[in-house]
Amino acid sequence: MAAIGQWAVDYLDNNRLQTAYFTSREEAGDYVLKRANGCTVRRVNLEDAFISMTGRKIS
């Protein structure tokens, strides 16, 4: 999972859930401060790695 980073920020963009990935918690925090909407900062998980490799979400 190191290829996509260790931290993820989930946010809504045009009513769609989007995720941005960051290597450090500080980078993720800086990104959140620049966004007007609410965000969720979390650790990257196995589902993130799957989506990154396949481009498909698990349903």
Q: How many CA atoms lie within 13 A of 47 on its CB side?
A: 7
Q: List the structure tokens of 21.
A: 């990935």
pLDDT for the residue numbered 57 = 72
| 49 phi/psi in degrees, rounded to 5 | -65, -40
Which pLDDT does position 3 carry in this prediction?
83
Q: What is the pLDDT of residues 2-59, one digit of tens each?
A: 689 999 999 999 999 999 999 999 999 999 999 877 899 999 999 998 888 898 876 6
Amino acid 59: pLDDT: 66
